[in-house]
Amino acid sequence: MKSKNLLLGAAVIALGFTSCKDEKAEQAEKKVETYVVYVDSIGNVAEADAKTNWEAIDASYQMRISDAQAALENLKDKEKAQERIDASKAKYEALKAKMQADMNAIKEEVATTSTTINSKQKLRNALFGQGKIGDDMNFSWVNKDNIHSVYQQFIHTAEDNKDSYSREDWDEIKLMYEALDSRKNTVEKEGLSSDDNRKIAGLKFKFAPMIKVNRMGAKSDEMKDAKQ
């Protein structure tokens, strides 16, 4: 009777051990499957959303691949499971490389745009005064009492720095100059004195050919540099 009980106890223990082992294998298989499915799901996410949430996506990926790799110890067919993990890993790395390349390109574009904007604003500040002209191109602050001094600062600044300006700078100067002239047409109707009008005309007579020649020269220099 005692021998029978011992055998029964051993059988129960063995059954429990087998059941536990099967459960671990089942859980391990689920972790590998979860990893594979997760990688596949990333490919279905819209690129814009993926780029915006990439840090969270990558953090979740790292957790899942870590679980999948650890789960291999509880699988019988480790080699087959490893092949599945490796295939999904390769798929993820390719997607990650593309995402990083796209995001780096966006960062470079933003940095270039920011540099260009800062360069334009710096030029505007020099031509008109700190913060006088922004992206809104608002010249309402120019009136009959200050327009002559505005032209003086603008033209004298351009003359003093003409050798350092790029073609883009001259394009911006031309744009600002034309906007200032447009404002002058309005100011003339608001009571601009004939004396100031005459002085402005003298400045414009001197500046008009200078801006044309220097824009052409800057463009020619850039073309030479590009060929070299």
pLDDT, tens digit only, all 228 positions of the chain: 545 444 444 444 444 444 556 788 888 889 889 989 999 998 888 888 888 888 899 999 999 999 989 888 888 888 898 999 999 999 999 998 888 888 887 777 766 665 656 888 999 999 999 989 988 889 999 999 999 999 999 999 999 999 999 989 999 999 999 999 999 999 999 999 999 999 999 999 999 888 888 888 765 555 554 445
Question: Whole-angstrom Cα distance, residue 220 to residue 214?
Answer: 10
Determine, yes or no, domain membership for 129: no
Nearest in space to 179 (alpha carbons), one of 109, 124, 106, 117: 124
Domain end position, chosen among 62, 78, 111 = 111
Question: Which residues constitute the domain of residue 211?
Answer: 136-227
Give the containing element (helix H, strand E) for 28.
helix 2-42
140 and 107 co-located in one domain: no
> Among residues 101, 43, 102, 91, which one has the least CA distance to residue 65?
91
Alpha carbons 70 and 8: distance in angstroms, whole number: 35
On whether both 106 and 167 belong to a single domain, the answer is no
Report the distance separating Cα 16 and Cα 225, nearest Å.
81
Residue 81, H or E segment: helix 78-128
CA 10 to CA 144: how far, in whole Å? 107
Q: Which amino acid is at 193?
A: S
**Statement: the pTM of the whole predicted model exceeds 0.85:** no
C-alpha–C-alpha distance, residues 97 and 104, integer Å? 10
Nearby residues of 100 by Cβ (< 8 Å), 6 or more positions away: none
Dist. CA 192–CA 200, nearest whole Å: 11
Tally of domains in the chain: 2
Based on the domain organization, do 100 and 8 belong to the same domain? Answer: yes
Asked if residue 182 and residue 100 are part of one domain, the reply reads: no
